[in-house]
């Protein structure tokens, strides 16, 4: 079913792997005499000198802004920034961390003082900002109106990244779990407020405010921003990111109860597209179940078992071209009667738990504000969907093996080598009940900030019905509801989606 609906609400949470920056400088040519009439070679762009670090006092604490180098990729001027911020914005726990962000501006607009500022909040949790290589996608469209800030959210990329190794070095599992509590959306928003005050001029047309674009978990952060600091915002654009259950102490059970059903629907579609993969998936599961210990070891030291094999659905079932990628992965699974080295290596590549462990460690906590998640996905699976996701039983019965989606299970901290290092901390995080509030429903109901969203009807990760419950609490929220795109619409048609949402936010698309 394809829908394209624009609605206004009553007045009343990568995944995608970040792309790596790839730039190359042209070698200098030796000087030589020019023939008469030859063009004078262009001078290379002059790089601005790096000003001294800025220090200021904010909310009784100190922070430092370090302006890094300015450089170019095709069509864009980029400037690196670092900001030293409190680990705990309340001040109760001492310590600081470094936040990295990158400022993008269209190469032909770098001197334009009339441009607004746009902060992009990417999906996750636990993933750094994309590394731009050229002027394309939604960035190309947004650069007509904005200077764009790409933020490595705390704990990711170059923002004091958390790894299994350095987290384990922080002390006992209890100390590790306590540290992790400072890496949720509320802290990300408070970091963003310091960035805004550091880079957006008070004398700008927006009066020092900026706009937000939030994808997936980035949309959840937008709702938190509207709750904590709406005075800093011009407008908010969300794509596949209206958080569910904002009035609940923990909405995780409702989320997984619905997203497991959506996984089953996507599995059915996958096998309709590629019926030959029914037998391929069954063969892999049977082979793994027959191995000593119930699986094989991958090149990265992970355990590829029937249950970890099912995790491939996270990357495949809910994204554009995901069905195709999974199909091609399965067709290359065998080297004679053994699983191929290529398949096992590709499995490792699809699983980013080792490089981005925050996703596994904090995923369920993004739904918590005053209650524990207690491994909600695992409990709902075992209590309500055990038969539907029992890979070995399905394979032995000749039925299609089902893949899972955006769920984190406690046994992953046994099957994945790097996650084993932080297993005890993960258990403590799952049992923690002392999570601060992420949303202020009254402020959302009273907001004067224009809020618009691209809401994907068939989104496997952000349930449509739960999103509508939240949208009803955000005053004046307008939605573009469509089934033309899956969760990654911003990647498929970023320029189109961005322009549509910006026009909705600014009244170019009229209510009707």
Torsion, Cα of 238, 242, 247, 252 (10° steps): -140
218 sits in which H/E element: helix 217-228
* Distance from C-alpha of 316 to C-alpha of 444, rounded to nearest angstrom: 34
| Mean pLDDT confidence for 167-183 | 97
* Distance of alpha carbon 396 from the chain centroid: 36
Structure tokens given for 181? 């509590």
Catalytic residue selected from 143, 216, 365, 373 = 216
* Distance from C-alpha of 214 to C-alpha of 453, rounded to nearest angstrom: 9
Phi, then psi, of 107 in degrees rounded to 5: -55, -35
Establish whether 487 is a catalytic residue. Answer: yes
* Distance of alpha carbon 68 from the chain centroid: 25
Q: What is the pTM of this model?
A: 0.89
What pLDDT digit, counting tens, does each position of 294-335 carry? 999 999 999 999 999 999 999 999 998 999 999 999 999 999
* Distance from C-alpha of 480 to C-alpha of 457, rounded to nearest angstrom: 10
Establish whether 66 is a catalytic residue. Answer: no
* Distance from C-alpha of 466 to C-alpha of 322, rounded to nearest angstrom: 24
67 sits in which H/E element: strand 61-73
Sheet holding 54-58, edge to edge: 4-8, 478-482, 451-456, 233-239, 210-215, 116-121, 146-151, 96-106, 76-86, 61-73, 54-58
What DSSP designation does 332 have? T
- The Cα-based distances of 428 to 187, 293, 360 in angstroms read 20, 27, 13
Catalytic residue selected from 31, 434, 448, 465 = 434
Band (14; pLDDT cuts 50, 70, 90):
very low
> Dihedral of CA 166/170/175/178: which sign?
negative
What pLDDT digit, counting tens, does each position of 198-228 carry? 999 999 999 999 999 999 999 999 999 999 9
**DSSP three-state, residue 202:** coil
Least confident of 14-18, 49-53, 183-187, 263-267: 14-18
pLDDT at 42 over 90: no
DSSP percent split of the chain into helix, strand, coil, nearest 5 = 40, 20, 45
pLDDT at 155 over 70: yes
Q: Are 14 and 123 in contact (CB under 8 A)?
A: yes
User: Count of CB atoms within 10 A of residue 108's CB?
Assistant: 11
| Mean pLDDT confidence for 275-304 | 98
| Mean pLDDT confidence for 5-32 | 36
What pLDDT digit, counting tens, does each position of 219-257 carry? 999 999 999 999 999 999 999 999 999 999 999 999 999
Phi, then psi, of 45 in degrees rounded to 5: -60, 140
* Distance from C-alpha of 118 to C-alpha of 150, rounded to nearest angstrom: 9
pLDDT at 44 over 60: no
Least confident of 18-27, 100-109, 326-335: 18-27
What pLDDT digit, counting tens, does each position of 381-401 carry? 999 999 999 999 999 999 999
């Amino acid at each position: 079913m394809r829908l394209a609906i624009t609605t206004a609400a009553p007045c009343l949470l990568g995944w995608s792997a970040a792309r790596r920056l790839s730039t190359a400088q042209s070698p200098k040519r030796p000087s030589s005499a020019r023939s008469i009439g030859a063009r004078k070679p262009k001078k290379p762009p002059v790089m601005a000198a790096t000003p001294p670090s800025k220090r200021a006092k904010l909310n009784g604490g100190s922070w430092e802004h370090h302006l890094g180098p300015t450089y170019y990729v095709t069509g864009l001027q980029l400037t690196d920034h670092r900001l030293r911020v409190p680990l705990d914005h309340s001040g109760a726990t001492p310590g600081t961390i470094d936040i990295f962000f990158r400022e993008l501006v269209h190469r032909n607009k770098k001197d334009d003082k009339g441009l607004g500022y746009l902060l992009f909040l990417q999906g996750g949790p636990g993933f750094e900002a994309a590394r731009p290589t050229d002027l394309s996608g939604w960035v190309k469209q947004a650069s007509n109106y904005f200077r764009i800030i790409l933020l490595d959210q705390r704990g990711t990329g170059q923002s004091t990244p958390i790894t299994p190794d350095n987290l384990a070095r922080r002390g006992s599992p209890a100390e590790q779990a306590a540290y992790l509590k400072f890496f949720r959306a509320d802290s990300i928003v408070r970091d963003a407020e310091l960035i805004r005050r550091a880079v957006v001029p008070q004398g700008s047309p927006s009066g020092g405010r900026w706009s937000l674009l939030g994808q997936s978990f980035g949309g959840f952060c937008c709702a938190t921003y509207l709750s904590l600091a709406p005075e800093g915002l011009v407008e908010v654009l969300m794509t596949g990111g209206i958080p569910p259950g904002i009035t609940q102490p923990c909405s995780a059970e409702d989320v997984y109860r619905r997203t497991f059903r959506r996984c089953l629907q996507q599995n059915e579609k996958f096998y309709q597209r590629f019926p030959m993969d029914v037998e391929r998936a069954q063969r892999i599961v049977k082979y793994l179940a027959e191995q000593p210990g119930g699986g094989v070891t991958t090149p990265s030291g992970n355990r590829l078992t029937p249950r970890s094999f099912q995790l491939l659905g996270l990357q495949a079932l809910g994204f554009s071209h995901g069905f195709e990628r999974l199909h091609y992965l399965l067709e290359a699974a065998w080297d004679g009667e053994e699983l191929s080295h290529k398949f096992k290596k590709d499995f490792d590549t699809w699983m980013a738990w080792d490089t981005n462990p925050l996703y596994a460690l904090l995923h369920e906590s993004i739904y918590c504000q005053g209650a524990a998640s207690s491994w909600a996905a695992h409990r709902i699976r075992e209590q309500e969907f055990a038969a539907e996701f029992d890979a070995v039983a399905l394979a032995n019965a000749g039925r299609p093996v089902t893949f899972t989606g955006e769920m984190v299970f406690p046994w992953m901290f046994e099957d994945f080598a790097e996650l084993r290092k932080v297993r005890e901390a993960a258990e403590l995080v799952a049992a923690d009940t002392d999570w601060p509030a992420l949303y202020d429903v009254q402020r959302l109901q009273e907001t004067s900030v224009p809020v618009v969203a691209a809401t994907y009807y068939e989104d496997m990760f952000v349930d449509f019905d739960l999103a509508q419950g939240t949208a009803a609490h955000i005053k004046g929220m307008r939605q573009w509801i469509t089934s033309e795109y899956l969760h990654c619409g911003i990647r498929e048609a970023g320029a189109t989606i961005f322009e549509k949402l910006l026009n909705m936010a600014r009244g170019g698309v009229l209510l009707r």
